[in-house]
Chains A and B, each alone.
Chain A
Amino acid sequence: MSKVFIAFQLNEDTRPIIEAVLADNPHAVANESPAMVKIDAEGQLVIKRNSIEELIGRDFDLQELQINLITISGHLDEDDDEFKLSWLN
């Protein structure tokens, strides 16, 4: 199985997002570099709107992820509730 990844800038906006992603994807691993964090996961990675909203205490639109996004790998499927990255092989 191949790895997918997503990288974010490290800042106050992304702290709860990263926390939610790691909680929802126990197989994911966060690797920090200066100013950024790259989250790697075997096969697939799912980011859930609900989990982020619980941590930040307000409504969250998954498209807000784009503001602090650095890069992704894998096929993306995004709707109102989930932002999902996967490889099909």
Chain B
Amino acid sequence: MDMNVKKKKLGLKEKYAHMTRGLDWQTSYQPMEKVFPQATFEGIKIHDWDKWEDPFRLTMDAYWKYQAEKERKLYAVLDAFAQNNGHLGITDARYLNAVKLFLTGISPLEYVAHRGFAAAGRNFPGVGPRVACLMQSVDEIRHSQTQIHAISNYNKHYDGFHDFKHMLERVWYLSVPKSFFDDAFSAGPFEWMIAIGFSFEYVLTNLLFVPFMSGAAYNGDMATVTFGFSAQSDEARHMTLGLECIKFMLEQDPDNLPIVQKWIDKWAWRGIRVLSLVGMMMDYMLPKRVMSWKEAWEIYFEQNGGALFADLARYGIKVPECLTQCTEDKEHISHQAWATFYQYGGAAAFHTWMPNDEEMDWLSAKYPNTFDKYYRARFTYWRDEAEKGNRFYSNTLPMLCQVCQIPMLFTEPGDPTKICYRESEYEGEKYHTCSDGCKHIFDDEPEKYVQSWLPVHQIYQGNCFPDGTDPTAEGFDPLAAVLDWYHFNNGHDNLDFEGSRDQANFAAWRGMATKNT
């Protein structure tokens, strides 16, 4: 019998060097700056692209091997989930609404991230970052696809899952995450890397995927936890790329520091605003909760982000300006966001509800400084009114922030009873923002943000009705026309969870799953 003799293989460092260097070439009949036109206009100076190194030292051959393994594991679970009616194993049908928000608000962004990293890889003249961007671009389309596949199983049974792509480009609350990525993608490749690679992936993505996915596991959603962790296994690499990118920019030239700092400040605040949606999912939409938004914030932003910024201090990087504001906001934003969605529950493609007594007690315990003082009485009043048949729905349209596009729902620093808004003027027109952070971003680049496609403005301008709608017709119902244009199934996708088709079906099907009649 032949002995199995181990062949001497290249070490990881040598293999990385061979497979990520020398793959490029100098142009001959076109100048390099015409081939890489986006590499310089942002003002970032790079002297030696070869100084870039991926600490994972991942090469394409290993990449395909491990990604294939992740996919095999994921799809085995998804098959088992579908074959065994896994959707009936979740804690409570209310939970599904968090998944609807995820599918409509987050999965399409994975696709935009795929495009953005493909573009960044194209636009960077260095081979190391190009290889890393290529892998991340392929990762991101994988995330988008696996999320759509995993969640499509719910679309067979429940409302609100049917047309996420159409909704993303139209619906008022989905413009919040959409505009975040549009803002990043319409910037240059270096700002994109700080926006998505660093601020989103390194500083914020843990807050989205780790506690929320653990929450999905807690709520019996095997499909979501599996795609979530499968995606997150790539995120560890993305975070590393983001951190590497920032160190690389800072080490290449001292002139890069103020530009990088400005982007960190901007994108930390933009990201934190988007995450209000996640705060609300964790505190209100998971029937069984793993930890509060505030606790997740403290672990993943304050402690982990604190360690990161302490480390980056050696380059002269300072903690983002918004941090003081965030320390106050962590006690409020999830309650304020959920209160808003509850009031606008007629215009959302998922169900809303008020927490029951046990859930309110949990919120009191997790938010001892704020929940009872500012929110409990209002929520109890709404719940009592709903029980009397007076479920409150707001039929007016809120003013939106010109930058983050969130309705003006957040409160003044130091006064949680007063709505915060700021005003700027540009070329004789007034623009409104929700906070000092967003005003600062607007004032720095007004020519960019005056172009924002704000859903409420668009509705008022008559741009959000189906073709052929006559708004002057007798009895015209503008909200119904907008929901029609959104492709919402009015009366099924929206309104309160209590009395919904999801609630009735889940109860009936779970009953059938446990009885013989």
Contacts and interface: CB of A to CB of B under 8 A. Distances in A.
Nearest to A77: B55
B323 to A, nearest CB: 16
Nearest to A33: B214
Interface stretch (B65-73, B249-257, B367-375): B65-73
Nearest to B304: A73
A35 B12 contact: no
A77 B229 CA distance: 23
Nearest to A61: B62
Interface stretch (B27-35, B125-133, B234-242, B387-395): B234-242
Contact of A3 (B58, B233, B236, B307): B307
Contacts of B70: 67
A63 B11 CA distance: 12
A75 B314 contact: no
A60 interface: no
Of B205, B211, B236, B237, chain A has the most CB atoms within 10 Å of the CB of: B236
Nearest to A3: B307
Contact of B55 (A70, A78, A87): A78
B11 A80 contact: yes
Contacts of B490: none
Q: Is the interface of B mostly helix, strand, loop or mixed?
A: helix
A38 B306 CA distance: 18
Given A66-B233, A75-B243, A78-B12, A87 B66 contact: no
A66 B236 contact: yes
B202 to A, nearest CB: 9
Contacts of A63: 12, 56, 58, 62, 66
A50 B256 CA distance: 41
Interface in A22-48: 33-36, 38
Nearest to A74: B307
A64 B211 CA distance: 24
A56 interface: no
Interface in A60-89: 63-64, 66-80, 87-89
B477 to A, nearest CB: 44
> Could you say which interface size class chain A belongs to?
20 to 34
Contacts of A73: 304, 307-308
B435 interface: no
A49 B290 CA distance: 33
A71 B55 contact: no
A77 B310 CA distance: 19
A89 B308 CA distance: 10
B13 interface: yes
Interface string A1-15: 011110101000000
B440 interface: no
Contacts of A64: 66
Contacts of A4: 307
Nearest to B13: A79
A68 B301 CA distance: 23
Contacts of A36: 210, 213-214, 217, 229
A35 B236 contact: no
B290 A33 contact: yes
Interface string B222-248: 000100010011011101100100000
A63 B240 CA distance: 14
Contacts of A89: 310-311, 313-314
A3 B304 CA distance: 8
B314 A76 contact: no
B66 A76 contact: no
Nearest to A83: B56
B66 A67 contact: yes
B131 to A, nearest CB: 15
A7 B81 CA distance: 24
Of B11, B56, B70, chain A has the most CB atoms within 10 Å of the CB of: B56
A67 B206 CA distance: 17
Contact of A76 (B11, B210, B240): B240
Contacts of A67: 66, 69-70, 73, 233
B472 interface: no
B47 to A, nearest CB: 22
Nearest to A87: B311
Given A71-B239, A72-B239, A80 B217 contact: no
Contacts of A5: 304
A75 B205 CA distance: 17
B236 A72 contact: yes
B492 to A, nearest CB: 31
A25 to B, nearest CB: 17
9 contacts: A9-B233, A33-B290, A34-B214, A35-B225, A36-B214, A67-B233, A71-B210, A73-B307, A79-B13
Given A3-B304, A67-B233, A68-B233, 9 more contacts: A33-B211, A66-B233, A69-B236, A70-B209, A70-B232, A76-B56, A78-B12, A78-B56, A79-B13
Interface of B: 11-13, 55-58, 62, 66, 69-70, 73, 205-206, 209-211, 213-215, 217-218, 225, 229, 232-233, 235-237, 239-240, 243, 290-291, 303-304, 306-308, 310-311, 313-314
- 3 closest Cβ pairs, A-B complex: A2-B307, A35-B217, A76-B55
